[in-house]
Amino acid sequence: MRATSTLSQAAAIWSFILPAVLAVPGLPGLPDKIYGVNLGSWLVLESWMLPQECAFAKAFPDTVDQIFDGHWTSWFNQPDVDALKANGINTVRIPLGYWIVEALVDRATEFYPRGGLAQLRRGLQQLNAAGIVAILDHHALPGVAAVNQMFAGNCTSTPMFYTDANYHRALIWTSVMTTLSHVDSAFANVVAIEAVNEPIMDATQTPGYGNFQQNFVKVLRATEFLLGVPSPGFPALPAPANGNFTAMLPNVNISSIFTAEVLSVLQDAASILVELGVIPALSHKRTQLITNFMDVNWQFNDPPNPAAAANGPQGYDNHLYYVFGGVADPNPTAYLISICNLPRVQNDAALGNSPLWFGEWGLPVQFTANDTFLTQWADAQKLAYSKGAGWIFWNFKIEKSELAEDRAREWSYLEGVELGFLTKDPSQVHDPNVCAPYITATPAT
């Protein structure tokens, strides 16, 4: 995307030698069972917390970076990390905007605050010290990927993400984040990168998304390959003379992984990495990152299956909110019958989407819920999601203020523990038999 980028610049940054270590099978770095929270409204603000980020940045161009830095510093910091650790949280999912890679922003029409990367590094280091691993979630994509959603970074009815130019920008983001995850010591606890948060559910409205899934994995693995991460999906290569990327190109199987688009992405990423001052180095991790997609059943109308794109460790993400309707009748019994017979883990596994975790869920309901019900509701959801690879609650906390009303009661993990709905030890439940009265012969859908 930058006129100055050339293959030789790419060569300078992508210098490496090949280690002879084999990758660990399975999902390297993730806990056996994920007990996680989302760090929502930190680096991607949602307007039920504060004014919409883009409109806000446009209105206050001179002070916006400073104002956001204040929010980023105060919303998630050491006391929060301490609270997560004290409550046994082992994983966080970090929603990010494409604008955290600042060179990707077209400043003529796109208005986002700067300085997020330094905050991300700071937060990751604090989490790492607490033994908590991180999934980087590409939550707000270039051009906007979801209709009328605050999380997308711009509340618009015309998503423009599903175009070649914006797919390209998202792939550059992927290569930059992959590189940082391997060579920047602040990213030591990053174990996975999620391609796209919640794409439009109707697959007829996401043209090219299947091809993007393929390219996402190719770019991530190609980047890792150049950083010396062993990848069973690649043919063995000789170490290139003097780290000369150009010299090694004839040796890679260009047609399968190093496609023209992948090469173009690597070159664009290389020039951004130079700007970021990333020192060319071999991966510290030496193990592959997990590629992560929303599961195939997230979409309908003949969606592309991300399992077809897999090359190396890959995990799948499903989100489940009853409060928005369409899942179960709005009453406590219907909710429990639904969650206690949830077939999503099996249905996904049948399509190769395994392991599956539930990367967003919470306690909100469509009716007035008493404390007894919310305790059962928390137990039943945790039991359902733990049949898969585990769960990641939305959100780690919610502002407690008059404006935020009583939202923390059902949307905040830390508040839920405080109020006793969620057990202090996340691997436990209050009542392991909570589902016994609700199991039906025919599974719910």
Ligand X SMILES: *[C@@H]1O[C@H](CO)[C@@H](O)[C@H](O)[C@H]1NC(C)=O
Residues that bind ligand X (CB under 6 A): 54, 109-110, 144, 154, 156, 158, 235, 244, 246-247, 253, 255-256, 332, 370, 372-373
User: Which CB atom, from 104 or from 290, has the smaller least distance to ligand X?
Assistant: 104
Q: Residue type for 355, please?
A: P
Contact 199, 145 (CB under 8 A): yes
Q: How many CB atoms lie within 10 A of CB 444?
A: 15
Q: Give 15 or 179: the residue with its C-beta nearer to ligand X.
A: 15
Least separation, in Å, of the C-beta of 132 and ligand X? 31
DSSP character at residue 102? G
Judged by CB, which is closer to ligand X: 126, or 376?
376
- Encoding tokens for residue 193? 């990168």
Q: Locate tokens 């010396």: which residue?
A: 228
The answer to whether residues 294 and 37 touch, using CB atoms and an 8 Å cutoff, is no
E strands along 66-171, which residues?
91-97, 133-140
Q: Which is nearer to ligand X, 61 or 343 (CB)?
A: 61
Are 226 and 14 in contact by the 8 Å Cβ rule? The answer is yes
Question: What's the rounded Cα separation, in Å, for the pair 387 and 372?
Answer: 23
Per DSSP bridges, beta strands 390-393 and 290-294 are unpaired
> Which CB, 58 or 400, lies closer to ligand X?
58
C-beta of 73 vs 253, nearer to ligand X: 253
Position of tokens 């992560």?
292
- Residue 316's H or E segment, with its range, is strand 314-319
The kind and range of the H/E element at 119 are helix 116-129
**Residue 215, preceding bond cis, omega within 30 degrees?**
no
- Residue number with CB closer to ligand X (38 or 154): 154
Q: Is the Cα dihedral 295, 227, 235, 262 positive or negative?
A: positive
**Between 36 and 332, whose beta carbon lies closer to ligand X?**
332
| Angle (CA) 415 315 269, round 5° | 100
Q: Closest distance between ligand X and the C-beta of residue 92, in Å?
A: 26
How many CA atoms lie within 13 Å of 40's alpha carbon, on the beta-carbon side?
27
For residue 143, the minimal CB distance to ligand X (Å) is: 6
* Residue type at 298 in one-letter notation: W
Q: Tell the smallest beta-carbon distance from residue 331 to ligand X (Å).
A: 7
Q: Using alpha carbons only, what angle is made at residue 319 by residues 315 and 324, rounded to the nearest 5 degrees?
A: 170
Residue carrying structure tokens 């990758």? 23
End-to-end CA distance of the chain: 44
Least Å from the CB of residue 390 to ligand X: 27
Cβ neighbour number for residue 300 with a 10 Å cutoff: 11
Q: Which is nearer to ligand X, 301 or 372 (CB)?
A: 372
Distance between CA 427 and CA 131 in Å, rounded? Answer: 16
Residue with tokens 């390297």: 28
Closest approach, Cβ 243 to ligand X, in A, equals 9
Q: How far is the CB of 254 from ligand X (least distance, A)?
A: 8
Q: DSSP 3-state assignment of 227?
A: coil
Shortest separation between residue 246's beta carbon and ligand X, angstroms: 4
User: 371-385 vs 332-340: helix axis angle to the nearest 10?
Assistant: 20
In angstroms, give the least distance from the CB of 169 to ligand X. Answer: 11
- Whose Cβ is closer to ligand X: residue 204's or residue 246's? 246
CB of 122 to ligand X, least distance (A): 25
Closer by beta carbon to ligand X, 200 or else 356: 200
